[in-house]
Structure 1
């Protein structure tokens, strides 16, 4: 009922119909998918499920084993904090809280025994409600013992919200981690029969661990330092296995790690372990950016899910998200990744508007996307998906050049009239939906089912003149007014006169004419219309408005 067209004032209202435009719509757009009130992403089909939650539990047990269980000594105690959300389990931090009595003491713990009890019940114990879980692992002489408790803390912004069977670490992820581990394990710096402690900060971007490492404190805690224990590449694997679980999160994030290097008498090489790691909480977004940040994180997670599943079919990829979802994703991503500065040279208007952030910037960019040809939308989506999943540095020179070209074309298109029927129909459809559902729901209720179809949604500055105001959203709330069909016919007569007599009206003239229509017809905006009381007044208003328009145009 609300999908009827909104007015563009560039022709008879009854002559425009959105039905023919649906061929270019994505399935998500036709389904009306957007975001729920809490910022979650609406989806065409359900995701997650019991099997996915069991896979999450099995992965967590493997992470506990690779970080602590496989090399733990009797007496060691570790804590692991995970965020639970929708059945998904995201590692937040771990720490060794007690040191063991020495490697090799006590019996050997086998993987099968370590995993059997915990895997069986973990998916049920974790549940799906947002909360933080703390695993405490205590190494006895023969086995590990486990405790599980809920701890206080906000929902981590980088946590996943959809349970899934995550694939194993890919070759690029392992290669990244090996490169980072090489920087963390400096050659010949563990004293003979000594111990060192190191602290550093690492950066994750989507699925990738960036290779820039911020080295911090390095101190020798035992040993004279006169002689160093030799090292080899094999020493890096325990560090790699401790870093990889942090790649299973969302967005850009910083992980602070603490490492211990120890050389034991009688052994040829030192041992390195990550004894603590914590994902640092990012700075809270400003009040105006809260909505963008929330919706952007939802899109980030969906992007990473599809990227991990290696969805290469561009037609499928293009139909997964609505224009609303894509707009929030692009705006949030361009800001979060610091891409706006590089965009200024080729798309200064786009960079300026998006730099303001907030829902208004996303709404504006949605109108830009709808004016972008489908092939270019798909190309932009393909490139930015890679940037989201692997970081801007992962883009090749050709992809960077293509991205700049796409943005340059967007900039040029902002100053060209909107001529294609699909774009105009879609803008009208959105205008009508948002006007009655978001801006004027009480008017929609007062009109009722029968009268609602007779009311028009009009753009004060018509769609045909949108190019004169490139930084404004043509569908902004202040540019939309609802009116009865009779009123709309009179307003349209004014713009038809302008179209006939001033084909190239300036921005100043268009603004003045919009002000004139508001002045003379404003009493009938956003209200129920009674033709028995307003017929004569409406005719007089049209006559007066036309007289003023003639003066503005100098006719």
Structure 2
């Protein structure tokens, strides 16, 4: 590793630590009840931090205001120094005292790394606007489904589906009034913002996953607005998407995380990002995306042969696609790479109608090639075989 690379990695580790400090304080700063407990479970991988679980417990009475400096002074050595070379689960417990927070942590190096956990620290700071907007939108809808009766308690469970750093869907899993009766009151905008703050750190993971949320609303005598508590937010253990080639799954996740890491750091030029990878690596990445993101739905009607082979997964499918990609002219392959990158990083819904049409045309080209004799589909002869398609996509080449 060169000096600049080591410096970049160190910057990324520090950025991860600062992001974790901000997350902890963001959820602690509004809690004044003495005895309140906040429990954070992270997966640490040599400076990369992934939140796996978050829990809240209520306290007894209101204490004095606390400020960030004493808490961050306790936590910074944990995130910056201790976790630098650690790999495993870390459980961080904050307990509210009269005017500050006490900190305890426990590390477990023996546990197995969850598939959604990062292994590469990311130097990006702050939250993308689109992630914040989506988290607030989902939190608003969840909170609207949680009325609380006077002097009562209600609970709600919801599940939030994510792909990489995108919230793509959510489902209501049940509401229950535990105590009280009468005309209910609804939670405030403050509850919406708190729930969104809990959701956002779960977007800093890899792949498809589901976050289960358990909320409890409480209406106390003399208080005009009910309070909300996130009793638990945790990532559910996903069903493995691969069932026959675990080595392929490991290779795909590692490559996808590397590309995702660069994407999160702000490299949005597809040609610049993908130029560093070989056709062999990209073929593996395409096949993995077909399986884990349901991207085959884009191509089922247009290219049934290609879709059928690729959605089987595994290294054989990746090798088959690699051979087909070598037969596509470089200009068209560059367009395909850039459009597929957008599908993987932002979802198929991010494609414009024109972009989707281009992608389908290119997959049709692959379908046509695999049905043609190899000598007709060799790179350099493709324009004679199918000139209209080459002309159609030439304006998209980078």
TM-score by length of 2: 0.87
2:280 alignment partner in structure 1: 324
Give the superposition deviation at 1:423.
8.6
1:78 alignment partner in structure 2: 38
Pick from 227, 233, 236: which aligns with 2:192?
Answer: 236
Distance 1:364 1:72, change over 3 A: farther
Pick from 50, 67, 74: which aligns with 2:10?
Answer: 50
> Deviations 1:492-536 (Å, cap 9, x if unpaired)?
xxxxxxxxxxxxxxxxxxxxxxxxxxxxxxxxxxxxxxxxxxxxx
Secondary structure of 2:134's counterpart equals: helix
Which structure has the highest strand share of the two?
2
Distance 1:166 1:310, change over 3 A: closer
Give the superposition deviation at 1:261.
1.7
Larger Rg: 1
In the alignment, structure 1 residue 153 sits paired with structure 2 residue 111: yes
Q: 1:110 & 1:254 partners in 2: Cα distance? A: 33
Q: 1:420 & 1:340 partners in 2: Cα distance? A: 23
Pick from 176, 185, 203: which aligns with 1:247?
Answer: 203
Q: 1:234 & 1:227 partners in 2: Cα distance? A: 21
Distance 1:268 1:359, change over 3 A: same
Pick from 127, 152, 160: which aligns with 2:84?
Answer: 127
User: 1:82–1:91: 8 Å Cα contact kept in structure 2?
Assistant: yes
Pick from 119, 122, 142: which aligns with 1:184?
Answer: 142
Distance 1:92 1:408, change over 3 A: same
2:176 alignment partner in structure 1: 219
In the alignment, structure 1 residue 167 sits paired with structure 2 residue 125: yes
Give the superposition deviation at 1:95.
1.5
Q: 1:84 & 1:245 partners in 2: Cα distance? A: 14
User: 1:160–1:250: 8 Å Cα contact kept in structure 2?
Assistant: yes
User: 1:346–1:404: 8 Å Cα contact kept in structure 2?
Assistant: yes
Q: 2:159 & 2:378 partners in 1: Cα distance? A: 52
Distance 1:72 1:325, change over 3 A: farther
Pick from 259, 282, 288: which aligns with 2:244?
Answer: 288
Pick from 144, 156, 173: which aligns with 1:198?
Answer: 156
Q: 1:408 & 1:137 partners in 2: Cα distance? A: 56
Give the superposition deviation at 1:164.
2.2
The two structures, once aligned, show a CA RMSD in angstroms of: 2.4
In the alignment, structure 1 residue 108 sits paired with structure 2 residue 65: yes
In the alignment, structure 1 residue 369 sits paired with structure 2 residue 329: no
Distance 1:413 1:46, change over 3 A: farther
Pick from 64, 69, 72: which aligns with 2:24?
Answer: 64
Q: 2:105 & 2:190 partners in 1: Cα distance? A: 33
User: 2:270–2:341: 8 Å Cα contact kept in structure 1?
Assistant: no
Pick from 54, 58, 66: which aligns with 1:99?
Answer: 58
Q: Moved runs in structure 1, 4+ residues, more than 6 A? A: 419-424
1:409 alignment partner in structure 2: 365
Pick from 211, 217, 227: which aligns with 1:261?
Answer: 217
Secondary structure of 1:159's counterpart equals: coil
Q: 2:77 & 2:166 partners in 1: Cα distance? A: 31
> Deviations 1:119-174 (Å, cap 9, x if unpaired)?
14422111334211111111111211111112352101111111122331112111
Distance 1:268 1:376, change over 3 A: farther
1:398 alignment partner in structure 2: 354
Distance 1:177 1:375, change over 3 A: same
In the alignment, structure 1 residue 140 sits paired with structure 2 residue 97: yes
Distance 1:338 1:47, change over 3 A: farther
Distance 1:311 1:363, change over 3 A: same
Query: Looking at both structures, which has the greater relative contact order when contacts are Cα pairs under 8 Å and sequence separation is at least 6?
Result: 1
User: 2:214–2:233: 8 Å Cα contact kept in structure 1?
Assistant: yes
Give the superposition deviation at 1:231.
4.4
User: 1:48–1:164: 8 Å Cα contact kept in structure 2?
Assistant: no
1:389 alignment partner in structure 2: 345
Q: 2:154 & 2:224 partners in 1: Cα distance? A: 17
How many residues matched? 376
Q: 2:336 & 2:273 partners in 1: Cα distance? A: 12
Q: 1:383 & 1:422 partners in 2: Cα distance? A: 20
> Deviations 1:379-421 (Å, cap 9, x if unpaired)?
2222222222233333333332222111111111222434688
Secondary structure of 1:288's counterpart equals: coil
Secondary structure of 1:107's counterpart equals: coil
Q: 1:325 & 1:372 partners in 2: Cα distance? A: 16
Q: Which runs of no fewer than 5 residues in structure 1 stay unpaired?
A: 1-43, 425-555
